[in-house]
Amino acid sequence: MGGFFTHERFGGPQVLAGFLLLVFLGQCAWLVNRSAGLTLREESRISEGLQRWNEERNLHRSPPSQENDSAREAIGTGVFDPNHSQLWYLIASAPLLVWPEETRLHSNHSLVWLARAPYLLLGLLLGASLWYVSRRLFGNAG
């Protein structure tokens, strides 16, 4: 079991890459903390995503009918941008699904953090993937 955390696998370059990812996370946290609040575009994207989550849940609960098929095609509030995937709206609103709505209304700062958390996570995963691929291609020098 001790074979995974060996010196050859985790040396100085890996510690440096981890440190750079932590610096990146610190910069992102600083930017999120410095922002005044959600912009109107973010608010509309989040409300559109929450509505899509709720309508999908309601469509799956009710028995299938022709009305449900037409409702599936017309999901949305009219804010939907056809140039973006529905996934963009769903990702933006996903952390808010687990947050109680009463708390959401009273805590604007935590709402900003929750709304931007998926993008912080995706940024960290992208940085870790970039490090992993460059290490596989070029070794520790990469």
pTM of the predicted model, to two decimals? 0.66
| Nearest-angstrom CA–CA distance, 76 and 94 | 16
Average pLDDT over residues 3-7: 68
Average pLDDT over residues 21-47: 85
Residue scoring higher pLDDT (115 or 4): 115
3 state DSSP class of 127: helix
| Nearest-angstrom CA–CA distance, 139 and 80 | 44
Nearest Cα neighbor of 29 from 99, 125, 121 is 121
What pLDDT does 122 receive? 92
Q: How confident is the model at residue 45 (pLDDT cuts 50, 70, 90)?
A: confident
Q: How confident is the model at residue 46 (pLDDT cuts 50, 70, 90)?
A: confident
